Structure 1
Amino acid sequence: MPVDRLLPTPEARDLLELTREIAEKVLEPQVVAAEKDETYPAEGFRALGAAGLLSLPYPEEFGGGGQPYEVYLQVLEEIGYRWAAVAVAVSVHSLSCHPLFAYGTDEQKQRWLPEMLSGNLIGAYSLSEPQAGSDAAALRCRATEVAGGYRITGSKAWITNGGKADYYTLFARTGEGSRGISCFLVPAGTEGLTFGKPEEKMGLRAVPTTSASYDEAFLPAERRLGEPGQGLSIAFSALDSGRLGIAAVATGLAQRALDDAVAYAKEREAFGRRIIDHQGLGFVLADMAAAVDTARATYLDAARRRDAGLSYSRQASVAKLAATDAAMRVTTDAVQVFGGYGYTQDFPVERYMREAKVMQIFEGTNQIQRLVIARHLAGA
């Protein structure tokens, strides 16, 4: 059931309608089989890219959509309503473009950004390592400066779109300590770059998550983004935006679980009445609706602060925390509404619950979000 939205312009409303049309006609028919068979949704990405939906929050001068984050996130929510894995990959793609846009030189942006934003190239974000997830300062993957560039050696982990992306925004160590990490833009075909077997995940199976290994892979110096040692600042600035992306996807997933649960509760009867008319179940659905609306309000508040040029780091963590916890709770309750049927693969609510879980983990676990919020409060 489409949600009525307050959008700032007629163009934004048109974008949302276009997103709904593509999601319904291209994504929806494929999602069940693709998630079961782990089939990469290449056709879906092509359709979204051709419609200009992979570049919405970036300026038109580089081929972007020139849309405020408030609009971009609502588009992302609509994609998540139909197919969470695709929406997560779209969010990661936008995240992977941010370091080049925000820290690249004019020459770097003119050379690479238009093609990245066109939808012809899909990006990935390569920050985590096997021993360095939430603790990004513990990175070990090293970029050693050599004549003309850098040699990259080491391993990365948990790469969404790993082995499928056309480029990787990589964070590697060029010095010691937290100020010894730099950012690089790595083409997929770089010699010495290989990928591990896709992880066998609970959900989001159609989009692979892999490890990567760099074996003396050479990168020209022009592929470094920002200054040497600026990597963590770049990573954290991108993650604030990425957390909002995941909040929007989680909200879309929760909205879908709520809508499916309401539709089922209107059809299913028990004791001579629709189960939605039993107060006990009606209250469960009411709490689910309140959780979804609250999640949407938190990510929109943070997005509007971002669009206004205000500080939004704490609000991004609040949105990510609130929306993903809500998605986990709402999808679990949706399974309960369906009863025994909800525990089977005959209905998609069990998939929604599996997909919601990881959203409490990536882009910074929800425990890390609480830490970020608490530090902001302590420093206020």
Structure 2
Amino acid sequence: MDFGFSPEQEALYTRMRALGATVDAADPDQRLPLLAEGGALGLPLPRDLGGEGFDLVSTARAYEGLGFALRDGGVLLAAGAHLFGVALALLRVGSDAQKRAILPELASGKTIATVAATEIDAGSDIASVRATAERAPGGFRLRGEKRYVTWGDRAGLFLVVAREGAERRGLVTLLVRGDAEGIRRGEPLATAGLRGARLGPVAFEDVFVPEDAVLGKPGAGLAIFQIAMTFERALVLAFRLGALERAIEEGVRFCRTRTLGEVPIARHQAVSHRLARMKMRLEASRLLVYRAAWALDRGERAQAEAALAKWHLGETAVASSLDDIALRGGAGFLEESGLPAALDDAIGGSIHSGTSDVLAGFVARWMGV
């Protein structure tokens, strides 16, 4: 068992941290294109399909580096939905033709992909989706509306989960091009945080989807979706590891220089213990995230490992954001500090890809209870 990183992994971390700093200084609309230009959207994809061929442990380390320098949690969530929610699912279960046609576009960022699964009455219970894919000559007719779609107003490819026919119970996953006739995109929702993710509604109004755009097999949509969500849950918040590391470093500096009665507040046990708890949560989250990535690299299903990683890291981000504000008192509550915005982002991340209660259910079923 080796808890260290190779020189290649550390070089990748350094490269992605530098990229994150560049992207952080850019206009918000340019951030995702710049991440693509820097290679962040294709790291674990094969070289012959436009990627760099890194394993998932290395990719998690890369996103940790991005998260340290890039404070826009929304755009990093969008990048994760693209890479972990769609590209890796396509790599795992897509046909050779689908991989050759689509993955180079995703690796380069020419096409931004996203998952379109959640509906107004079907969030955690994806088996209850009402969107339908009716059989038609040469393919399907897709009808339904999806909610909270990451990058919904701009995505060029949607991984859509729908019911295969109005009277059938099976689900189908479809790769729907963003320029297909009948797609209606709503404006991004006014979310409290993660604004760079551009969450919004997308309606599919009698959209024709060709047969070769089915991901996996019709009727196996639920299983395909769970594969996509396992990759996403394991890795979509990996950037939070870097953000937490940065928050701890900044918190330590603040507490060493902020004085109360001519004594640095870091000398007060209540303050130092708060910082220590932030460190404990970070290191526990690191172990869970890299354990899940390692299991996926080995070809394991890793559903429970992914659920544990996302569950713990999501809650850690919220708890440590609150600690970060508390360390600074009233100054931490000011918008100019950036800390309230970081808390809003953390809360959004704890909901995305499954709330704590949903993920606890996955873990409980894995335990046999």
TM-fit CA distance, 1:268: 1.0
Q: Report matched runs for 1:7-86 at 5 Å.
A: 7-8=5-6, 10-24=7-21, 26-30=22-26, 41-81=28-68, 82-83=70-71, 84-86=73-75
**2:341 & 2:252 partners in 1: Cα distance?**
17
Is 1:121 the counterpart of 2:111 in the alignment? yes
**1:156 alignment partner, SS class:** strand
1:1-380 aligned at under 5 Å gives the runs: 6-8=4-6, 10-24=7-21, 26-30=22-26, 41-81=28-68, 82-83=70-71, 84-94=73-83, 95-175=85-165, 180-378=170-368
* Inter-CA distance 15–178: structure 2 relative to 1 (3 Å threshold): farther
**Contact 2:23–2:34 at 8 Å: present in 1 too?**
no
Q: Which amino acid counterpart does residue 6 of structure 1 have in structure 2? A: G
Deviation at 1:207, TM superposition (A): 2.6
Q: CA deviation at 1:346?
A: 1.8
Distance 1:363 1:194 in 2: 23
Amino acid at match of 2:191: K
In structure 1, distance between residues paired with 2:168 and 2:135? 18
Give me the whole-angstrom Cα distance separating, in 1, the residues matched to 2:14 and 2:246. Answer: 17
Amino acid at match of 2:20: A
Q: Distance in 1 between matches of 2:316 and 2:253?
A: 20
Identity of aligned residues (%): 28
CA contact (8 A) 2:132 2:166 kept: no
4+ runs deviating over 6 angstroms: none
> Structure 1, unaligned stretches of length 5 or more?
35-40
Three-state SS of the structure 2 residue aligned to 1:199 is coil
Distance across 1 between alignment mates of 2:336 and 2:38: 33
Letter in 2 for 1:365: T
Secondary structure, aligned partner of 1:237: helix
1:37 matched residue in structure 2: none
Q: Bigger CA drift: 169-178 or 325-334?
A: 169-178
Letter in 1 for 2:4: L
Shift of 1:311: 4.0
The number of residues matched between the two structures is: 364
CA distance in 2, matches of 1:347, 1:45: 24
Which whole-Å CA distance do the structure 1 matches of 2:90 and 2:24 have between them? 32
What is the alpha-carbon distance in structure 2 between the residues aligned to residue 270 and residue 178 of structure 1?
67
Structure 2, unaligned stretches of length 5 or more? none
Please give the alpha-carbon distance, in whole angstroms, between the structure 1 residues aligned to 2:354 and 2:202: 20
Report the TM-score, using the length of structure 1 for normalisation: 0.91
Letter in 1 for 2:24: E
Q: Secondary structure at the match of 2:351?
A: coil
Over the aligned positions, Cα root-mean-square deviation in angstroms equals 1.8
Paired with 1:175 and 1:145, the residues of 2 have a C-alpha distance of: 7
Give me the whole-angstrom Cα distance separating, in 2, the residues matched to 1:160 and 1:314. Answer: 24
SS for the counterpart of 1:206 is: helix
AA matched with 2:292: A
SS in 1 for 2:236: helix
Distance of 1:53 and 1:11 partners within structure 2: 16
Paired letter, 1:287: R
CA distance in 1, matches of 2:218, 2:147: 22
